[in-house]
Structure 1
């Protein structure tokens, strides 16, 4: 037994030491190193992010569009009928959507719902129209939906599909390395597989840390608006501590009691706030604008999907689109595994259409209402939102300034703060569960202390990025995440190859859809523990990925797939 194993056992853990400890060490080194060497860390991330934005921004733009096109192809192909697992879906459609929304994009909508449309309305990205005009409003809606529509959810859906397939069709561990099994085989348990999973855990910690940082800025702004608490790094750190504490409590009770209940509560509250804005605002204007947003988005999408600001070279895209894509993909391992867990039993076609269509439709409605309402406020009271949000750069205050133009201001601002807190709590506790799954390599209950550690680690990284860096809060978050996101784009292209290769191998090259059945795979250390424990049946798992005993590559048995009407 080596030193890591002895430390692992002494701490009472049940995970993979070669993944848990290196990832934990990186997080700790970042926190300590940033505090001790603030200027040097700032300079390193500033230089690296600057180089990436200048030379590889196009790679980020192209990558997300390729992911989206691949998913649409897969859903439309005969592979769309393959079921992700051999059971029926565990969650109803409404509960499924609520958890998708809360863990995936709910927090983003709260932060950018007003801030992004009003920014683009004042400063149109394409620079071919005047600000604060009708054309600027349409352009603002087009870019906002480009950022938070199909492309964002393609970033979530691609790894989620990979996880769901390899976890529930090939019975591999819930790890990023499992998606590499067609390339690595049993080496997913070796040093290369461990390195992939360490990168995934670290990237998730930083990606969720950025979300926590943005949420903290918004919560701080809301509390300052409501009760004049002021905006300072000390208050922001205290907010992170409070949010992390709530997340620890939620993650301790698990998915059903914690995350699911919080998600359902928040989706009801968010819809309530949305309906309130429609009912008390310029209702007819908002309804017409939201419907118009569908056409604006659909007509602009083909151009924006490949737009690289080639002629103007203004650098606008780096601080908006590139930042979004890097940020989103950095926490795609967490959202991917989480979405896979709650999507077990659905077909690929159901999965892709559900993950892309339902949240995107809600995003169109959300930004349609809040975006057009923002434009109306600015038309009636010039400078009301553009002044503080755009000219003064106080992005975090956008939602609360917006709500000052509606009845029951104090109540709705309190509701907004609660929404932000719960959305970020569900993001953090979902990430804690998923990171623990990546580390230990199985889905059963693990010691609570492991999930608590990862939850605290994400809070610590977020606090460090906000409070212990020389840059301003949002700028510091952008610099770090653009660097962290790069390896995930490379992994994304590999995922496309491995998913397609596995489908062709398992399902064969010609209809009807038939697929090989694979034995459940556990990491070596967990398999060794279960071998020594009489409670487990050794015949139910393996370490080396292999077929069920009665399966031969050319003698295939049908597996549970869906007919065209969705029945098995």
Structure 2
């Protein structure tokens, strides 16, 4: 069964787009989405050039703070509802439906598939926050979860548990449901790989008009700004690590050189294609990450085992209190951490969802949801518990720089401070920097593929040069932000991404409803009438 509309005639992944698509200079783009996305991106950069970075950041931060505090219920309950949808669909009869039809086969092994979704999703974040977040919660750096007393056994349990909460089931439900919505409508209904396709059961052919354009433009901007933010902040963290290890000045030149290196490696990855690029790097990075994790676990076996058990207990015990937005005494911590995280995952969901949708054909809905929800949650639980547990133990025992400062002195260096306590600290730090860079390469590669597809009307196969162009644009935005105003400009860009996540939270919940309606059509009746000879 295929959907038909006035503007699209879709047959699986081979379809023709109406007059809104243009093909010239070796490019294949959706005219209105491409022009609007590019124009608004340029307008934002021009605005930052005219305004002082500090003033722009202050103004944008005011709007972001209002969005996080006044609409915290939107983010909190959107995440809760999306998780309920994911669990309900996974264990319902709808879970038996196979992406691509009953005879569809997978393109990637389960191991490679999981490695790619993990690398595209949160790999880089775990490197940055694996030490910093549990340490921050334990030492009362910008508040403690549920108002628990810092530097206590209960504080340690909640510090680890709250960290797992932020990187666990809620986060992966947001990612997974977005990916499932797209994968289902692309592979089972023959619609283009575009956010607008999710809403066909609710809006019908209106999704091919201005409403659909608006949805796709919002998605493009969120993904593009999210990529640029990640590159800017990641370049700064990698530069901090290199400066710390090798004694090199952490200058703007070094940060830009790192971003250019990431861009160059991403271009090589793009040119090599999915198998020779993202898949290869993701598998390699997961091997290095697990060796890194295992080595630290052997050095601190008792600590990491106890931390893992403590973190899991803290997660399970407090998942319901941490999921609520009312009746809490820790509102500053709630808005600064949990609501911010939910907004960030929602903002990143279009990129992650579209990329994972591309690589998930042939898997059943149940297999898809269980794997996306459970396997990354287990890995992130181990990572946060191991690194966070070791860092907290160093604080308790007053070991190394973390112990001396009794907490975080510099967020970007917290991981490296923890590693400094080991005789092989410099070698471990070099491995950490390598992980950061390769994770960013896979993120930029997958993000470029997603932006390219969205600005080309949702097509799956497009000229390689277009993907390269979007990788270059993302890197240039990140470098320009650093050049204009350093991390202030990058954080302003991050704040805009968070603000854009507010309407997107509602869009994702509506998308879940649309998905259920689509899945029910598999067992009840077609979603659209077979008109015009369909």
SS of corresponding position for 2:71: helix
Q: State whether structure 2 residue 189 is matched by structure 1 residue 174.
A: no
Q: Secondary structure at the match of 2:423?
A: coil
1:104 alignment partner in structure 2: 121
Residue in structure 1 matched with residue 467 of structure 2 by the alignment: 451
The alignment's TM-score, normalised by the length of structure 2, stands at 0.90
CA distance in 2, matches of 1:43, 1:68: 34
Contact 2:144 2:150 in 1 (8 A): no
Structure 2 unaligned blocks of 5 or more? 1-18
Structure 1 residue 408: Cα displacement: 1.6
CA distance in structure 1 between the aligned counterparts of 2:477 and 2:206, rounded to whole angstroms: 31
Q: Residues 547 and 90 (structure 1 numbering): CA distance in 2 closer, same or farther, change over 3 Å? A: farther
Equivalent in 337, 344, 347 of residue 320 of structure 1: 337
Q: Is the 8 A contact 1:389 1:397 kept in 2?
A: no
Q: Does 1:434 align with 2:450?
A: yes
Structure 2 counterpart of 1:285: 303
Q: CA deviation at 1:313?
A: 5.5
Are 1:348 and 2:362 counterparts? Answer: no
CA 303–263 in structure 1, closer or farther in 2 if over 3 Å, else same = same
Q: CA RMSD in A?
A: 2.4
Alignment match of 1:92 (pick from 109, 133, 140): 109
Q: Distance in 2 between matches of 1:390 and 1:11?
A: 55
Map of 1:120 onto structure 2: 137
CA distance in 2, matches of 1:389, 1:107: 25
Distance 1:548 1:7, change over 3 A: closer
TM-superposition CA deviations, 1:341-390 (whole Å, max 9, x none): 11111111111100000000101111111111111111222673266695
Q: Residues 373 and 471 (structure 1 numbering): CA distance in 2 closer, same or farther, change over 3 Å?
A: closer
Q: Identify which of 222, 225, 233 aligns with 1:214.
A: 233
Q: Which moved more, 1:265-274 or 1:335-344?
A: 335-344
User: Would the aligned equivalents of 2:312 and 2:381 in 1 still touch at CA under 8 Å?
Assistant: yes
Residues 27 and 457, structure 1, Cα contact 8 Å, conserved in 2: no
Provide closer, same or farther for how the CA distance between residues 345 and 391 of structure 1 changes in structure 2, counting only shifts above 3 A. closer
Offset of residue 323 of structure 1: 1.9
How big is each residue's C-alpha offset from its partner over 1:288-323, in whole Å with a ceiling of 9 and x where there is no partner? Answer: 321332222111112111245x44354222221222
- Choose which of 50, 53, 61 in structure 1 pairs with 2:65: 50
Query: Is residue 2:368 matched to residue 1:368?
Result: no
The corresponding residue for 2:29 is: 15
Which residue of structure 2 lines up, in the alignment, with residue 423 of structure 1?
Answer: 439
Alignment partner, residue 4 of structure 2: none
Displacement of 1:473 in angstroms is 6.6
Number of residue equivalences: 511
Alpha-carbon distance in structure 1 between the residues aligned to 2:60 and 2:231: 19
**Which 5+ residue runs of structure 1 have no aligned equivalent?**
509-514, 519-544, 552-568
Q: Which residue of 2 is the match for residue 276 of structure 1?
A: 295
1:64 aligns with 2:79: yes
Determine helix, strand or coil for the equivalent of 1:174. coil
Closer/same/farther in 2, CA of residues 470 and 362 from structure 1, 3 Å limit? closer
Alignment of 1:479-518 (within 5 A): 479-508=495-524, 516=526
Deviation of 1:82 (Å):
0.8
User: 2:137, 2:145 within 8 Å by CA — same for their partners in 1?
Assistant: no
What are the residue-to-residue correspondences of 1:260-275 with 2, within 5 Å? 260-275=279-294
Give the C-alpha shift of residue 246 in structure 1: 1.6
